[in-house]
A and B are shown apart, each in its own frame.
Chain A
Amino acid sequence: MKHKTLKTVLYIVLALLGVVTVFPFVWMVLSSFKTNNEIQSIVQTLLPQEAIVDNYLNLQQTFDFLRYFLNSIFIAVAVTVIVIYTSCLCGYVLGKYQFKGKNVIFGFVMMTMMVPWSVTIIPRYTMFMEAGLQDTYISLILPVMVSGFGIFMMKQNMESIPDELIEAARMDGSNEFQTFHKLVLPLCKNGISAIAIFQFLWVWEDYLWPYLMIDSEKKQLLAVGLTLFNGRYSTDYGGLFAATTISILPVIIVYVIFQKRFVAGVAAGAVKG
C-alpha cells in the first residue's frame, strides 16, 4: 500500500517535471504557426486559431534562412568528422601504447579543457586576421580540429578494447595503420557517437567565432543568422519562432533517434573519469 502511493507521487512529480522540460519546445513549434497578431494578443491559446505557414515562407523569402542552415550543416559535419578522426588517433596512441612522456602529453590535453574560450579568442582572432583568413571556412575549421574532450573520451574507449584483439591482428601481419582503421575504429561506435553529437552541437550553436570571422552574409552560419534576423526584424515574433524551430527541431530529432548510443557514450566518459 505504502509503495503504491509512493509510486503514484513519484510518477506525478516526474511527469510534471517532464512537462516543464518539454513545454517551451511545444509552445515554440505551435507559435511558429500563429500570426504575429495572435502571438501578441491579450488572450493566449496554446493551439493556433488559424494555422499558417507564412512565417516559414517569409523567413525563406526575406532572409534565405535555408542557406544558413545548409552552411551550418556543412561546417558542423566537416568539423565533426575531423574531430572524430583526430580524437580516435590520439586516443588510440595514448590509450594503447606505452612510451616516455605519454602521461605528460595526456595531462596537458586534460589541462587544455580547462582553458576558457575568453583566453584564446583574442589571440586567435589576431592570428587569423594577420594570416588573412577572415571570411573563409578554413578559419572556422582550423581552430577546432582537435578536441581535448574527444581525446579524453576516446582514450577511455580505447582502453576498454582487449589487448589480445590488437595483438592477434598484429600476428596476422597487419601493420598499425591497418589495425587502427579496420579493427579499432569500428569497435569504438559508442564513443564516436557521443563525440559526434556533442561536437556537432558545439559547432551548431557556436556564435562568437563565426560572428567574428565571417563577413559575407552568404557564408554565415545559423546561430549568427538568428541574431541577424532578430536585429533586423525584432518585432516579427512569428518569424523568430519559425527560425528557432528550424534551428532546434532537427537537433532534437537526431538526438531522439540516437539517444541510446549517445547516453551510453556520455556515461562511459564520465563514470571512469
Chain B
Amino acid sequence: MSATTIRLGGKKVLASVEGLSFRYPDSQKPAVKDVSLEIGEGEVVLLAGPSGCGKSTLLRCLNGLIPHMYPGDYRGGVTVSGLKVADTPMSTLSQSVGLLFQNPENQIFMFSVERDVAFGLQNLSVPREEMRARVDEAMRLLGISDLAQRAPHELSDGQKQRAALAGVMAMRPKVIILDEPTSLLDPKTALDVVSLIGRLNRELGITFIVVEHRLELLIPIADRLIVMDSGSKVMDGPPREVLADPRVEGYGVSVPPVSRLYNALSRDGVRLPRVPETPEEMAEELNAL
C-alpha cells in the first residue's frame, strides 16, 4: 500500500488521519474538527486534553467504532495499517487495531483467564492449534501463564488489566489503543503496566496510542505527546518539548509538577540546561546551579 511507504522521521507511517471531522447526531458542534496527523510504526503516542476535547472520539475513529458503530457526520479519512477504516469491516480492523478499555471488568467476563484471552480469536474462527499457540504466547508475554485457569473475579486489578491486555495481544495487532489504562490502578501497579507497555513496544515494535490523564506515568516511555482542545489538535511533539511550551497548561492538561516548575522557573529567567522529565533529573539540575 502506498500510504504505508511514506516515511515519518525514518519510520513507516502506520496510521494516518486526514482532515477528519466527526459530529454526533444529537450534537451541534463536531467532536473532532479537521484533524490531520500521522503515526509512525513503533511509536508510543500519548493523547491528552481536557474532558470533552475529542480524544475519545479520535480513538473511536482509529479503531473503527466510528463510523461502524456510531452514526454521525463523518468527513475526511483514517487509514490504519493500509486499511481505510471507513471501508473495512470491524472484524478485519480488530486484527490490526487492538483496544484496551479503562476498566478491565468490561473486557474480561469468561470463566477463566485463558478463555478470555482466546475470546477474540474464537470470534474470528482461528483454527484450534493456532489459537492455542497465540493464547499461550500472549499469556507468557504478559506474565500470567500461571493464572490461565483462574476465574477473572479471583484476580487482582493489576492482573485483570494484564489479562485484558493479553486478550488484545493474542490478536497480534500492529497498534494497540489504550483508553486510560491505569486510572483504576494503584500507583505501583500503574507503573508496572506502563513498563509492560514499554517492553511490548521495544521488543515487538507494537505501536501504542494512549489516552491518559496521569501524564507523569507515561512520559518516560512516550515518543510523542498530542494535545487536543475543542476537537482540534493544538500541540504535537516530543513530550519534553510540548510540556516546556507555556501554552500547555492552558489546555487543561494535567502537567506534572516538575514540568510546571520548569516552566515557572523559565518565566523567572532561570535557565536549566535541559527540560527535566523526572524529579530526580530536576534535582540534579538545581544542585548544579
Tell me, yes or no, whether A binds B. no
Contact surface of B with A, Cβ cutoff 8 Å: none
Please give the residue numbers on chain A whose beta carbons come within 8 Å of chain B beta carbons, in ascending order.
none
